[in-house]
Amino acid sequence: MSRFETEILTNKENLKVLEELSGNWVEKITERTGLKELILDMDSSVSPTYGNQDGSKYNGHFGCSCYHPLFCFNQYGDLLGSLLREGNVYSSTDWEKQLLPIMERYNHLKIPKYFRGDAAFGKPEIYAALEKEDYQYAIRLKSNNKLVEQIAHLLTRPVGRPSTKPLVLYHSFYYYPSTWKRAYMGNAG
């Protein structure tokens, strides 16, 4: 069994088929049921390990030795792709290996397309890839002094007894850190 896992399954052609297996299955289902919109939801996770497993590394954020897989789901919770990664990589590392083939799989559909991601995916190269393929996106931004300055008026609490209804305020702004080549529109609410 171990030779099967390390010699046959790790063959490039076999790995490619395994990587596409889940997404191809989901695509066959959506061909039959029809898809009115596509929402891609990408996130990483932790898979703790014990012992000396290949690729198992210590991750300070999770506080354990682990794998740090990357997943992409659709709006129904169907797994479109997964990528097993070493435990010590950043949450968005190798995003392009995961996201670009999935976007390519659906680029022929003339439907609204969306992407959701946490702050790890707030990178200009991800924005550019999404915009190139006409995806709308909602990606959380990491808190920083410039961002807090832009939305400070939304962060103050009302005086007196707070209302029982949630108070939702929105504010649009351009986000342009010095390390980026261009500004991106942001919304806070």
Q: List, for residues 123-171, the tens digit of each pLDDT value.
A: 999 999 999 999 999 998 888 888 888 888 777 766 776 677 777 777 7
- Segment 97-122 mean pLDDT: 93
Average pLDDT score over the chain: 83
Distance CA 19, CA 182 (A): 34
pLDDT at 1 over 60: no
13 vs 2, residue with greater confidence = 13
The pTM assigned to this predicted structure is 0.76
Class of domain 2-140: alpha beta
Say whether pLDDT at 4 is over 60: no
- Domain definitions of the chain by residue range: 2-140, 143-189
pLDDT in tens, 77-102: 989 988 889 999 999 999 999 999 99
DSSP annotation of 63: T
* pLDDT score for 51: 84
- Tell me what pLDDT residue 34 has: 78
pLDDT at residue 74, as a whole number: 92
Percent of the chain with pLDDT over 90: 43
Task: Report DSSP letters for 132-188, one per residue.
Answer: HTT-EEEEPPPP-HHHHHHTHHHHSPPSSSPPSS-----EEEEE--TTSSS-EEEEE
Extract the tokens encoding 149: 């300055």
Give pLDDT, residue 158.
65
Do 100 and 72 contact (CB within 8 A), yes or no? no
pLDDT in tens, 13-56: 766 766 776 777 677 777 767 789 999 999 999 999 988 888 89
